Amino acid sequence: MVPPMPWYDIYWPWTWWFAGDPVVVSADAGDASDCADIHARAFRRGWGPDEFERLLADRAVTAHRLDLGRPMRATAGFVLSRRAADEAEILSVAVHEGWRGKGLGRKLLDHHMGRLAATGIKSLFLEVEAGNDPALALYRGAGFREVARRPGYYGGGKGEPKRDALVLHRDLR
């Protein structure tokens, strides 16, 4: 469910007017609430600000966000990965619906993968719901390949159909 966010909903339609091109910057715990808002709008089960605060403060997590710059620190999207040895897994990626389809998901992911590769990560994994066409287009375009399928992994709640999960991999070497 999308939580009530009056200032957000008033602010977003106008961001195109005074913001330049969003730039990719590192995200930290101060971005938890913006990331939680975007996540709640993008996914059926949103993660709360507390969950984002914990993840963004975790030293094993690499996080980037699309910064809209002035007049206030605002975020148009984010991506988070957890590192373990020379592998990493993308935990979540989302772009605010008002900024989708403009190449920003690609810009965010390319920057993120570049930073992970620069810190010695060789393998990057993620999980995506089969049928999430925008996400699959983003990942396939970025060089990810399917390595496994988990039948009926998502859904299955009351009146909810089960949906497969795809595990994708990208070699960063």
Ligand X SMILES: CC(C)(COP(=O)(O)OP(=O)(O)OC[C@H]1O[C@@H](n2cnc3c(N)ncnc32)[C@H](O)[C@@H]1OP(=O)(O)O)[C@@H](O)C(=O)NCCC(=O)NCCS
Interface with ligand X (CB under 6 A): 42, 93-95, 100-106, 128, 132-135, 137-138, 141
Identity at 133, one-letter amino acid code: D
Nearer of residues 56 and 93 to ligand X, judged by Cβ: 93
Residues paired with 155 in a beta bridge: 162
Nearer of residues 76 and 172 to ligand X, judged by Cβ: 76
CA distance linking residue 42 with residue 71, whole number of Å: 25
- Shortest Å, Cβ 66 to ligand X: 9
Query: CA-CA distances (angstroms) from residue 71 to 19, 20, 44, 102, 150?
Result: 8, 11, 31, 21, 44
CA distance linking residue 168 with residue 143, whole number of Å: 10
Dihedral sign computed on CA atoms, order 6, 9, 13, 18: positive
- Shortest Å, Cβ 88 to ligand X: 15
- Shortest Å, Cβ 20 to ligand X: 17
Per DSSP, 120 falls in state: T
- Shortest Å, Cβ 168 to ligand X: 9
Nearer of residues 39 and 83 to ligand X, judged by Cβ: 39
- Shortest Å, Cβ 25 to ligand X: 16
Per 3-state DSSP, what percentage of the chain is helix, strand, and coil (rounded to 5)?
35, 35, 30
Tell me which residue of 73, 66, 29, 67 sits closest to 51, measured CA to CA. 29
Nearer of residues 11 and 125 to ligand X, judged by Cβ: 125
Nearer of residues 80 and 104 to ligand X, judged by Cβ: 104
